[in-house]
Amino acid sequence: VTRLPRHTTAARAYPITATTAAMSSASQHLAPAAARLPGAASRNRAPPVTRCGDVSAPEGRSVSSGRRALFLAAGVVASIPIPARPARASEASNLASLASQEPDAEIALEVWDEVVRLARRSGELATPTGGNWLYSRATCLGGLSRWTDAERAYAEAADVLELALESSAPGKRDRAGALTLALAHDGRSLALGALSDWPAAVDASRRALAAGGAAGVAENGGLDVPTTALLAGLRGGPPTVAQRLDFNAAMARWGAGDVGLAANQLARLDKGPSPVAGQGGQFWEARAALAAAFYANGSLPAAEAEWRQLCEPVGPNPPATPSDPFRKVVNRAAQGAFDAGGILMDKRCEDFSTGTPLPCDDAGIPGSGGNASPCLVFTDAETERRLWPANARLALRSFIRDGPEASRR
């Protein structure tokens, strides 16, 4: 078996100070983050921040008393003498738990930096857990659009996770490690695409697909995309890891200039289930990209047909019906109670983006002002946020500008 060459990344230089406890060390390196925590007077005036892995949903900065206490605790226990190596490993784990729950990406990144510093010194960074920490830090960097740093961080995480998988017991299949490895390669592919290095992005996506196969991402209906992954949770995006890896591989091919192969890959890609007959798959982003690929390939009728179906208004998903007889009865009773309560319910709502008054039970796609056509989601700004290649964005923009029949109705 020919092994793929590893990615080499320059080790980041972290300041090393003498300390009698890992917490004492942590307090020094986290001091800048603690100093930037807003006080009560300035909390409401703080600029919006971004969660790690989510470049789509900025929100106001909010610092809980628990988070503040955890930062202050670093200074409180600084004088307690603890053996250095075990303390560093333990403290890295504690800080990793903090970082994974931190909603402010900038603060989370500083905590992840400290986790990596401590784990590097303790030797814990070379373990599967260390690889997971490196992956989380890389996702934070991606969430902040620091693509050069994110690419290097994803590559380092992939190297560590790959070594851990190779050293695992023969015959033992580490699905969780392989899944994180696949997402690390996939994140690196996205970062390289954002840097317009599409040939390297194609190679990274190929590695992601190989690791995804080892993780069994397409088995038993497919694994859901983790909510912490870069670009996870975007409306109409890939619901499963297999769909995500296939889609990003196709878009990397398009970015590298092979629109024909990209169109073929997008056409074969699983577009997801359709809860309501005739509505098409719920993977709207892949369907929008396919319409643009058809157009770029000169297949205007196929592009029109795909876009027309994507522009068909979608209704709300029907209630789930359990297969178990007892649960089916309970579910039916609950639905009946909900319908009865709906008679007296105040159904006056408004669209959260536009303020347009809407009935709560027929409000269309959130943020669309009551419209229920999925094709309207994919504006030029939206596809840029989703890291589409520039040539793919140009194709969709040109297609819409030329006036597809569905847009004229």
Looking at the predicted structure, is the pLDDT value of residue 161 above 90? yes
Rounded Cα distance between 383 and 164, Å, is: 36
Residue pLDDT, tens place only, 367-398 = 454 567 889 899 999 999 999 999 999 999 99
In the chain, the percentage of residues whose pLDDT exceeds 90 is: 48
Residue pLDDT, tens place only, 314-368 = 765 555 566 667 776 777 777 677 666 655 555 556 555 566 665 555 445 554 5
Q: Which residue has the higher pLDDT, 170 or 31?
A: 170
**Average pLDDT of the chain to the nearest whole number:** 77
Secondary structure letter of residue 240 according to DSSP: B
Residue by residue, DSSP assigns 290-346 as HHHHHHHTT-HHHHHHHHHHHTS--PPPPPP--SSHHHHHHHHHHHHHHHHHHHHS-
Rounded Cα distance between 110 and 36, Å, is: 12
Looking at the predicted structure, is the pLDDT value of residue 3 above 70? no
Give the pTM: 0.73
Looking at the predicted structure, is the pLDDT value of residue 223 above 80? yes
Residue with the two structure tokens 């020919």: 2
- What the block records as the tokens of 254 is 């398009």
Rounded Cα distance between 396 and 7, Å, is: 34
Residue 407: alpha-carbon gap to chain centroid:
30
Average of per-residue pLDDT across 235-241 = 92
What pLDDT is recorded for position 172? 72
Secondary structure letter of residue 374 according to DSSP: G
Residue pLDDT, tens place only, 116-160 = 999 999 999 999 999 999 999 999 999 999 999 999 999 999 999
Residue pLDDT, tens place only, 18-71 = 333 444 455 555 655 555 444 434 333 333 334 576 544 433 334 444 444 444
